[in-house]
Amino acid sequence: MKDFSDPAACACFNLRKAARAVTQHYDEALKPCGLRTTQFSILAVLARLSPAPVARLSGALVMDRTTLTRNLKPLVGQGLVAILPGADDRRKRNVSLTAKGRKAFERALPHWQAVQKEMIGRITPTRWQRLEKDLGHTVRAAAES
């Protein structure tokens, strides 16, 4: 049982390592847009769900609620995202994409497509298809506690 005796086989370590390695390429590619990968992902989710309360977004991103709150700060600072109190429920904060934010997202899209194509090409489309499924399964497996 190598998997349970050799820390180099650590599932967490290997996932984080791969995430670090890949993130650097995406961040580099999105640099001309003034966006990080995480920020692009948030805008992408918002493009579909805006406006939506914080908890709904953090669920969609599989990101801790408080993490999302912090991550929204620079986006709000840049005027790409606006946060408004909910009309029906004053506890809720509705996060929405501004016009500027939607433009920034659309400008970033081709840059993302380029690096995505490049990276999947390197990984190999076949392997990536498999990997994406396995990652999705992993997220669900981790979340089911």
Partner DNA sequence: GCCAAAAGAGTGTATATACTCATAAAAGTA
Partner DNA sequence: TACTTTTATGAGTATATACACTCTTTTGGC
Which amino acid belongs to residue 140? R
Question: Can you read off the two tokens belonging to residue 95?
Answer: 């996060």
How far is it, in rounded angstroms, from Cα 145 to Cα 125?
A: 32
How far is it, in rounded angstroms, from Cα 24 to Cα 21?
A: 6
What are the angstrom distances between the C-alpha of 100 and each of 42, 81, 112, 142?
A: 14, 8, 18, 36
Sheet of 52-53: strand order equals 52-53, 93-97, 81-85
Q: Does 69 bind its own copies (CB under 8 A)?
A: no
Binding residues for its own copies restricted to 93-132, rule: CB under 8 A: 109, 112-113, 116-117, 119-120, 122-125, 127-128, 130-132
Q: Which of 1, 5, 48, 91 binds DNA (CB under 7 A)?
A: 91
How far is it, in rounded angstroms, from Cα 4 to Cα 49?
A: 41
Binding residues for DNA restricted to 47-86, rule: CB under 7 A: 53-56, 63-67, 69-71, 74, 77, 83, 86
Q: Does 35 bind its own copies (CB under 8 A)?
A: no
Q: Does 111 bind DNA (CB under 7 A)?
A: no
Q: Which does 98 bind (CB under 5 to 8 A by kind): DNA, its own copies, none?
A: none
Name the residues that contact its own copies, by CB under 8 A: 3-5, 7-26, 37-38, 40-41, 44-45, 47, 61-64, 109, 112-113, 116-117, 119-120, 122-125, 127-128, 130-132, 134-139, 141-145
